[in-house]
Structure 1
């Protein structure tokens, strides 16, 4: 094997078979052009060493103990993983030692030609774009490793890490057939390529390429994907402005690269999480949260302590039971036991992320005060979170850095797509106390050691999209906590199960939380994790997981030695911190609009009359409607009976600023201990809301009125009822009552639901849920009487029924959920039997269709889960999507386009709140937040026409606003969009179509 080294400051060849031509070539091959390396060309060997040096710092200061241990096993012994990891990261750009790459920069190409490396210019120029340097690297490295004597299986998992380092993994990486022999070069080129990899290996301390070969276990495919993300991370850092060019081979050294890497890491402010934790003792709950753990929380902690290997915990417990605190304490136990270095907490919506963000920060502060400032909040509206704003201390940032991506050469570039990435670091200044700015660039957010974000962030890691390895790298090495997992529909569940497969294979501890999880859903999630942990295409437990009590904790893991899946449940019948709440269930039929265009209004007077009667002595009511239109219509009707200060409206079509204010006000007025926050509980208040109040919305209502929804979601809504202890309630609402409306029964007992409700939830689930409700519900006083179960059915008693008129909550939650989701043909023998059969057939076809649609986007296709390497992972990939498209990728249906509302005309514009914009809409810094607070998401029906909206002229050069679509309203806050009236009202929010308000205010 040839060898090259520096002798007396000069690059000389000292190995057998050495040639001056190869030395000259190594001194000419460029990795970064002068324009992209601070004015001086950076030699290819220099960049490879820079990347390896960054990887060493990543190992020392960033990687979780569990990750280091796994790579020690791969390399063949304790302490050997670090060198292998650095080598894998640094060798990534060996494919630049080809004509296909070197011809692209004229100045550098001339130097390479002068060193004796030639190519047919016209031919290479024609074909080079078909063979980028990432794939070229995989091809060349595979040859070099074969010649060095590496085993085929080891070569098989290594070359894809190089071939995929620009975001996608192909099935093969050779040059096009018609260009074979020209793009990779021949003769001297092959010698130089071998010498480059060999010299790079020796600079890292190996005795050439042969000695790099790992001698331990083969890494799992999940470990390979994790490593691939870390290769990208190291490459991007080493391609940044802290690494200037080195054009003299005599000045290239690993020692110099290490100095540069250390300075860059410190300048970027990067670091890992909590390192290796000591396992907390029984006092952890008091230390972290100031309370003794409830019995159900103790059960969760015991389950975490009893797991012999990293695995899955599924925690099912009532609303308000303290599942989140139990999960965070369990995460601390799991991290200490299995070497995790951080946590990801995923929530169902942006709105539920915000309160969780504060809770996670306070928990981390109890572990180490410095950790609280390192929590990233990942969702598109984080700039309106007051805690995030205070933490990140606005200002001081290069505005263009917010949308920087990385080009084919690993260099930063602006985002040229219309629609910004949800994770862009839009407001982090260099003087911040928050997470390092680098972590908050596009696609990097999950790499931050501590993250609170929407579940979408995790689901993206299960998609066959570009740079998915960065997302997976941000999850492996952490403990993953997901709240409200029951909220994932069949479409989202495909991505959730796929991600659980990968996390199971990567041995990532996962904690799933739910109050209303169906047994079938629990079984599917556990089996998905275990199939990954066992590296099997499919895995089914021998018997169904049975939860004989509530709360319930299910544990699942693979036995460390036998790699055999294990799952077990533990339950408690009397572990809840408070006794069951006897909730009286009432029903109130209403005339139903069977067309979506005419949703609201029909039952508004019935609800208004009911509220007037029940709140005659005062009290606080929560009314949940299934659509924005029904909520807006009801609020208008209530305005005829109640003064404005007794009414609040909350839904997703308020502007960001108005919605944030309305949410905060509701939490302040009806949240726990309002007096401690300087607020008195109102004597009378009605909050009309949509599904935004369904979960993770910690308010206490004296009375609940709700549209019919699937029973698990209905129970979530009931969780807002009499939620807090010590609340003084007027006599008429002193006991908990829920009134279910949003349906009708025709002569003969046939059921009708609003068209929009059927579109959202399906007729099948609504029909079965109504049957459960009617089995326990008397008619509301003053309302048209609803039939009992016996009256609605031709065969009395066959509808699911409990104690008439009362649900014991939470004790009966599993039973009620199971009655809808786990009992086949529950309505047999009733007047609804034929309706159920037809609805079930349609629902089943729809579920299968939605699952199949998601399957085409999953990271791994059916039949490929047992593949040993990443080769071909991206075959048939959907490409890179951003903004609303990316969100729609993991959520079924159109998400709608987000616009920024402005008022005025071409002569003069103002923000929604009336602040004046400059000429052409130019936005002064002090007006920016006010302008962006006017952002709102349009209904999906406007997606096509809204795509034609563009920024105002004065926004085009702004680093943030140039990606925003402006919807200009006239002086009355009205416009036409696709021929449909659209307006904005401070009281109602965005109003479309027939519901157009008469005034702009």
Structure 2
């Protein structure tokens, strides 16, 4: 046995005998903490959360607490894990309960914390919340009691029968750790008044609860980075000067993974110029007025809301604001949050192209922050054992370029990326009592948080998002909320107001509009900028108006939808069919095939295809490309779209992000905000050759032939209404009052002019005054139904309040709930991910390795059960935990049990 093993180890390697001295590992993490909090943006976030300036002595004391985050590893029962398995004493120990006993100065560990040097510190007990936050570096507050015993010396196992006897004494190891701590962080132990501190600033770290919670996240981030062996090679034998190596390595690590982005600001400066920046960033000759307004708002406007129609360039406006804030040093990063995975997949490519214009081909790259994917820019990774990742361009990239992808290699680290594009739930996890919430929140604090389609959040998610913004602004963060269809009541809430405007006042608000708030803590009065949207020449969708011919069609069977789509396609139109459910989409697709229209359907890999969320990731990517190739003229207008009629059938996955340009839309009835999103897929580009009879965009809205009133009794029909399940209401679009008002708008207004009518349309279906008028007209059944629905949403809001992160209370006062999976599922998370034993060719010929089930199909499914895959003709039969699924051109279909 190596004689050095009598010294405490902090990390073990994959090979026998590989270890890193505990003092060295503690130094690595503390040095990472020092390097991270030295970054100007992070320091600004800490000051904002603390509410007062931070003195050098305060920061040094926090670094000491970080240094001792793993002090529990001094325990003999933990050190024994590094001994040969056949010579380990029982029982073995962890290090969290042990660290709690040591750092909270439990009496049982008195002979350890004295040599560690804690007994004479008069400031130590005052910082208990920070100590608890540091001990929570594995991702959640401790739920253990201090380890009472086991702090005695134990004999080391002999390497050979003739070896001299030796023992491991935690008190001796503590003396090494304590001496190193005092030598390496002398400012923390200085006596007398701090000469660098004003008289009115506390001598030690301020105890503001928000600051404690931010500190917890920074410790977790420092531990992740300081534990990375690529940056911190092992040294088993203690050396006095190790701290110098640790600090040099930490500085390199923070720069390599691009937490330190100072070198990137200069290339971004050209895109921050008000006169030429937009053209440099986007290629458009000039910004639209609403884009200009967003970019020109000063940095002290921490909350900005942009309302503009679909296709108006909101993504470009968001990236331009990021460019301005980034160049000014106000933010270090961008997180672009989308409501769905499919939207995130599409926007990631668009944002990445903008970043290349912003910082050059070797500059910032957008991480795809969607679990199950490994993508940075255009590079794709593959997960390997031992948490390693192999990138498809690994042989072409320098070591530092690969290190810059550190944040992409774990879903827990997504928000540490300088730029990431993902689903909104990845950001919301920073506001929930789930593991690694503090890590996510600390990383997000440095970024501009952009939430696209903010209107799409349900009440539960809305409450979580509101809490996330409270945490984000409490640390001095910036946010931009975007929507094409935000009603006045929702906008008032996001802006911190209490009284929404009445219907007449709501209609008078200009559209598009940009809103901003300066002081998020005091909720200063919101300011509105009303850009004047003047048309510009050329094919610029940001300033184009379109008049859509609207038709209401009672009846929405698969045959009805198929007949209408076929009639338009046989006249040469490109037809988009959007159904509210996968079941309805598949039935319509099959009805078109049965009616002899298979050749008119979207084609992929030699056969008909449709588009929804129940396809493997590889196939979804291929379907996205096929849809855009079929319906978008692309960047080369000279080639245009393929000639002839075509039908593309799908679900809500077609509403956002894809560059779709259809001539005619066939859609199910849906809420007005969703319907406007779908209309955004019509006549998206100018200069496109269209079939005779379709030079004006047109839309057919399918509705139940017996109206909506039958749905007032809990019943679910193609996505509308609600059905009782587990004594609760659930459904896709449940607010029948909004749906009825939307139906009446379609029936009563044969032409909608977009975007001129957007404000009128949205408020006419969403404003509470209009809903009350509807209830007065139709009777008590409608009011009773909606009261029940509002009761459900109120219950959801209360449920959200019970699981959000309590940043207003001292760290350690609250424990996280035991069932994190239930909290995550409420965010609309996916169901079980079925990993295949080996990649298999799917129905479109692409090798696929994972299928993700809908959440409601996954209840009670054992996620660890083995998965078997069999070929059944052109389809795959997938079996897991006694359940069978079929995967073919229709997507995943449930077949029942074996």
**What's the CA shift string for 1:340-369, capped at 9, x where partnerless?**
111111122222123322222222223321
CA distance in 2, matches of 1:708, 1:827: 21
Residue of structure 1 equivalent to 2:579: 625
Distance in 1 (alpha carbons) for counterparts of 2:192 and 2:429: 38
The answer to whether the 8 A contact 2:141-2:812 is kept is yes
Cα distance in 2 for partners of 1:38, 1:747 equals 70
Matched-pair contact (CA < 8 Å) for 1:484–1:514? yes
Once the 2 structures are TM-superposed, how far is the Cα of residue 470 of structure 1 from its aligned partner? 1.8
Per the alignment, residue 790 of structure 2 pairs with 844
Q: CA deviation at 1:61?
A: 7.2
Find the aligned partners of 2:40 and 2:824 in 1 and give their Cα distance. 29
Match status 1:807 vs 2:742: no
CA change 1:575–1:514 in 2 (3 A) is: farther
RMSD: 4.4
Classify the secondary structure of the residue corresponding to 1:731. Answer: coil
Q: How does 1:612-691 map to 2 (within 5 A)?
A: 612-641=566-595, 643-648=597-602, 649-673=610-634, 675=636, 680-691=641-652
Aligned residues: 827
- Tell me what 1:299 maps to: 293
Q: Distance between the aligned counterparts of 1:249 and 1:451, measured in 2?
A: 39
- CA–CA distance in 2 between the matches of 1:897 and 1:764? 26
2:458 counterpart of 1:489: yes
Name the residue aligned to 1:715.
Answer: 676
1:160 to 107, 112, 132: 132
Q: What is aligned with 1:257?
A: 246
Deviation, structure 1 residue 320: 0.9
| Structure 1, unaligned runs of 5 or more | 1-25, 112-120, 405-423, 528-538, 592-602, 778-800, 904-908, 916-928, 952-964, 995-1001
In the aligned structure 2, how far is the partner of 1:635 from the partner of 1:427? 36
Q: Is contact 2:720–2:731 with CA below 8 Å preserved after alignment?
A: yes
Match of 1:890 in 2: 827
1:29-48 to 2 correspondences below 5 Å: 30-32=8-10, 39=17, 42-48=20-26
Structure 1 residue 623 displacement after superposition: 1.0
1:584 corresponds to? 549
Q: 1:91 to 1:739 in 2, by over 3 A?
A: same
Equivalent runs, 1:419-458 vs 2, <5 Å: 429=394, 432=397, 433=401, 436-442=404-410, 443-458=412-427
Aligned to 1:201: 182
Matched, 1:772 2:713: no
What is the alpha-carbon distance in structure 2 between the residues aligned to residue 983 and residue 487 of structure 1? 31
Offset of residue 669 of structure 1: 2.6
Q: Look up the match of 2:386.
A: 401
Normalization by structure 1: what TM-score? 0.73
- Asked if residue 236 in structure 1 is aligned to residue 224 in structure 2, the reply is yes
The C-alpha deviation readout for 1:211-248, integer Å capped at 9, x for no partner, is 79873773754443333233223333333435455555
Q: Aligned pair 1:609/2:563, yes or no? A: yes
Per-residue CA deviation, residues 385-426 of structure 1 (Å, 9 max, x unaligned), is 7x85x535x68x8x2133x7xxxxxxxxxxxxxxxxxxx888
Q: Contact (CA 8 Å) 1:347, 1:455: kept in 2 or not?
A: yes
* Residues 1:66 and 2:3 aligned together: no
The 10-residue stretch of structure 1 (341-350 or 276-285) with the greater mean CA deviation from structure 2? 276-285
Q: Given the superposition, is the C-alpha separation of residues 438 and 460 from structure 1 closer, same or farther in structure 2, using an over 3 Å criterion?
A: same
1:899 — aligned with what? 834
Deviation at 1:30, TM superposition (A): 1.2
CA deviation after TM superposition for structure 1 residue 32, in Å: 2.3
Provide the rounded CA distance (Å) in 2 between the counterparts of 1:747 and 1:511: 36
Partner deviation per Cα, 1:248-300 (whole Å, 9 max, x = no partner) = 54555422433554676788798546555655333211121122001121121
Q: Give the match for residue 534 of structure 1.
A: none
Contact 2:77 2:92 in 1 (8 A): no
> Does the 8 Å contact 1:491/1:850 carry over to 2?
yes
Identify the residue that residue 141 of structure 2 maps to in structure 1. 169
Partner Cα separation in structure 1 for residue 762 and residue 317 of structure 2: 23
SS at match of 2:137: coil
In structure 1, what is the Cα distance between the partners aligned to 2:525 and 2:32? 39
The partner residue of 2:445 within 473, 476, 491 is 476
Match of 1:13 in 2: none
Shift of 1:313: 0.6
Shift of 1:625: 0.4
Q: Would you say the 8 A contact 2:257–2:406 is kept in 1?
A: yes
Does residue 319 of structure 1 match 2:310? yes
Are 2:685 and 1:724 aligned? yes
Q: What is aligned with 1:137? A: 103
Using the TM superposition, name which of 719-728 and 496-505 deviates more.
Answer: 719-728
1:525 and 2:494 matched: yes
Q: Distance in 2 between matches of 1:968 and 1:431?
A: 37
Q: Secondary structure at the match of 1:353?
A: helix
Structure 1 SS opposite 2:518? strand
Task: Look up the SS of the partner of 2:526 in the other structure.
Answer: strand
Q: 2:805 aligns to what SS in structure 1?
A: coil
Kept after mapping to 1: 8 A contact 2:152/2:170? no
TM-score between the two structures when normalised by the length of structure 2:
0.80
Pairing partner for 1:148 from 93, 111, 121: 121
SS in 1 for 2:688: coil
- Structure 2, unpaired ranges of 5+: 107-112, 155-168, 195-201, 536-541, 603-609, 723-729
Equivalent residue, structure 2, for 1:376: 367
Structure 1 residue 160, shift from structure 2 partner: 2.4
In structure 2, C-alpha distance between the alignment counterparts of 1:913 and 1:612, rounded to whole Å: 25
Q: Is the 8 A contact 1:301 1:329 kept in 2?
A: yes
Q: Secondary structure at the match of 2:431?
A: coil
Partner Cα separation in structure 2 for residue 776 and residue 857 of structure 1: 40
Counterparts of 1:910 and 1:189, CA distance in 2: 53
Q: Is it true that 1:287 corresponds to 2:280 in the alignment?
A: yes
Change in 2 beyond 3 A, CA 1:184/1:857: farther
CA pair 146-462 structure 1, distance change in 2 beyond 3 A? farther
1:451, CA displacement in angstroms? 1.1
Counterpart-to-counterpart distance in 2, 1:346 and 1:379: 10
Q: CA deviation at 1:379?
A: 1.3
Shift of 1:941: 4.7
Task: Give yes or no for contact 2:49–2:474 (8 Å, CA) kept in 1.
Answer: no
Name the residue aligned to 1:700. Answer: 661
- C-alpha change, 1:829 and 1:166, in structure 2 (3 Å) is closer
Aligned to 2:27: 49
Distance 1:976 1:714, change over 3 A: same
For the 8 Å contact 1:170–1:873, the answer to whether it is kept is no
> Which string of whole-angstrom CA distances, capped at 9 and with x for unpartnered residues, describes residues 873-921 of structure 1?
4343545x5xxx78625227xx333335799xxxxx9533598xxxxxx
Question: SS at the partner of 2:320?
Answer: helix
User: Among 886, 895, 898, which residue is 1:983 paired with?
Assistant: 886
Cα distance change of structure 1 residues 828 and 42 upon mapping to structure 2, 3 Å threshold: closer
Contact 1:96 1:137 in 2 (8 A): no
Q: Who is 1:818 aligned against?
A: 763
SS in 2 for 1:345: strand
Contact 1:285–1:293 (8 Å) recurs in 2: yes
